[in-house]
Amino acid sequence: MNLQAHIETLKERHATLEHRIADEDQRPQPDSDALARLKVEKLKLKEEMERLRS
């Protein structure tokens, strides 16, 4: 897998996490532990994408 394809895959995973976070946040009683895990995973993906771009 070339670098650009890898970055695109990470972008897709990042977008999926954004949707999962939004869905969880819309629940009447969001699971704060689940939200925290999703946000940490999303941040790690973002950092990985930025590292690969530089």
Tell me the CA distances in angstroms from 35 to 14, 24, 41, one per residue in order. 14, 7, 10
Q: Residue 14 pLDDT > 80, yes or no?
A: yes
CA-CA distance, 40 to 42, in Å (whole number)? 5
User: Whole-structure pTM over 0.75, yes or no?
Assistant: yes
pLDDT in tens, 35-52: 999 999 999 999 999 999
